Every structure is written in C-alpha cells, then in structure tokens.
Structure 1
C-alpha cells in the first residue's frame, strides 16, 4: 500500500495526529484531515499550501510552539518526541558548529524571542549554523508584523518538507 493510500485511509484522529507532526497548527491539521482523500501527492502538497495560506497569526504562533529553538538539539527528543528525529535531521547544520556560533545562536534566540514574542523559526534544512545565525541577525531588524509573516513562510517550507518525509517514511 502506498503511503498516500495509508494516509487517506487513517481514521480522522490518526490523520490529525500525522498532520500535526508536519505542522503544529490545530486548524491546519484539522482542515487537512477533512480534505482527504488526496488523489495524488501533488494534490496533497497543493492543498496543504492553500490551507496554510488561509491561516492567520494565531495559527502561526501555535505552530511555532511545536518547534525547538534552533540549536537546542539536546532537547529535541525530550520535548518534541513526535517530531524530534525530523527536527534533528533539519538541524544537521548544527553538528559542526563551533562553540562561538552555538553561544551566539543561544543569545540571539533569547533576544529574538524577547523582541518578537515567539521563537526564531527558519527552515534549517541544508543550512549551516553560521547561515542560520546570519539569518537570525538580519531578521532582528524586521518590524514585528513583517517578521511574523516571514516566520509563517518558513513554517510553510518546513511543513512541505515534513509532508514529504511523512509520505516517504516506511
């Protein structure tokens, strides 16, 4: 059975749980659950993007609470059991980071959260720790409403990657 057929055949509760692993917005996960069955993976991705575009600031902030801070690799498995392995893969760029970069990210995350009221969210896949630090520093200059939209866009990218992982998992 294909993973798409598996996903389409889950009970609503099971499907909502799986979609929540991809994006922590309850409204989005429920809408994706109701949108089933998907005739193709492309249709699933298209619908996921369209439904994310219909969400707003409350949904974005809720989704952000389901992510660890960039660089907080030690807490990934503890706090985020449902997505810990995925988050760890996404943050592979942290593995070779020097202590100076790790400390700068920790300090920057703290300052970012104090300024904006939510964690720094970036699609970390394929980015080095130094690249993520540069993005964090650049985004600190954004007005709060603009930064919330930027972070929501990053969540959309993360959601797509996680949906791909969901459909490719054994």
Structure 2
C-alpha cells in the first residue's frame, strides 16, 4: 500500500470529504469514495472513484460543474481545486493568441446559452486551439449527447485530481 492511500484511509471524515470535494464537487461522489474505505491500494481507490463517477446523476454533475471556472478563465483563490484548475489550463493559456482567446470567450458564451452550464473539458495537455475546436464541435450536440460527454469529462478530471491528491498525501 502506498503512503497516500494509507493517509487517505486514516484521514478524519470531515477532512477527507473536503479533499475529495476538491477533486470533484459532487457530494455523492465524495461520500461513496469515503464510504469505501479502507482501500488496499491506489488502483482500488481509483477504480472506486471511476465507478462512483459513472453513477452520478445529472443533478450531481450539475452541482460539480458549478465549481469549475470557465475554460480560459483563471480560477481564483488558494484552494486545492483552484490550483489544480490553473495547472490544468496553464499549458493551453500559454499557447493561445489573442484571436483564439477571444473566440474561446465567444464559444463559452454560446455554449452556456445553449446548454445552461459552463463548457467542461479535460484540458490537460490540450492547446486553446484544440479546446476551441472541441467547444465548437460540441455546440452541435443535442442535450442528451452533451450531458454524456460532460459527465465523462468530469470523470476524467476527477480521476486526475484524485491521483494528484494521492501523490500530495504520500
């Protein structure tokens, strides 16, 4: 067992809940992972998180979306989730020219007008041009298809952040 998993297993419930909500701001997700303790190893924690993510209803996903800044906007504050958001978007921000940044702002607005929530994408490793292309493509989706994509993007972000949390705890 890794040190990070040992620390997670031993963490007081209120602190664990806060740490998990920084990974994914869906209380049902955090509660399910916390209830599964103790975990024998890192793969077991990640498998539980993946499974919990896949069971989230749209109300849970919507609640988690509220914690995410618009893509291209810098997350404010010193919280762990704000720092992770800045890190996830930093490479994309570094590669964007002014016209791409402006087009992404417009795409964000159009997306929010169409779907009623922020555009969520697993941004790690993507340029702003790639993110913009994805936003434009996803604007053509119907609502059920887009909800499925959003839930999957949220799952991927949550798993990445949970891996980072385990690393930080180790």
User: TM-score, normalized by length of structure 2?
Assistant: 0.94
Q: Which runs of 5+ in 2 are unaligned?
A: none
Once the two structures are TM-superposed, the CA of residue 81 in structure 1 deviates from its matched residue by 2.7
Counterparts of 2:117 and 2:144, CA distance in 1 = 12
Give the aligned partner of residue 17 of structure 1: 18
Count residues in correspondence. 167
Q: For 1:138 and 1:66, how far apart are their aligned partners in 2?
A: 24
Q: CA RMSD in A?
A: 1.3
Hey, what's the Cα distance between the residues in 2 that align with 1:44 and 1:83? 19
Which one scores higher on RCO, CA 8 angstroms, separation ≥ 6? 2
CA distance in 2 between partners of 1:112 and 1:7 (Å): 37
2:91 counterpart of 1:90 = no
Whether 2:130 is the aligned partner of 1:167: answer no
* 1:138 equivalent in structure 2: 137
User: Could you list the per-position Cα deviations for residues 44-78 of structure 1 after superposition, in whole angstroms to 9, with x for gaps in the alignment?
Assistant: 010111111111110111111111110002xx123
Write out per-residue CA displacement over residues 139-159 of structure 1, whole angstroms, 9 at most, x where no aligned residue. 000001110110110001101
Q: In structure 2, what is the Cα distance between the partners aligned to 1:143 and 1:133?
A: 18
How far off is 1:96 after superposition? 2.3
Partner of 1:120: 119
C-alpha separation in 2, matches of 1:82 and 1:127: 21
- TM-score w.r.t. the length of structure 1 is 0.94
Q: How many Å separate the matches in 1 of 2:81 and 2:62?
A: 17
Q: Find the residue that maps to 1:91 and give its secondary structure.
A: helix
Of 89-98 and 40-49, more deviation after overlay is shown by 89-98
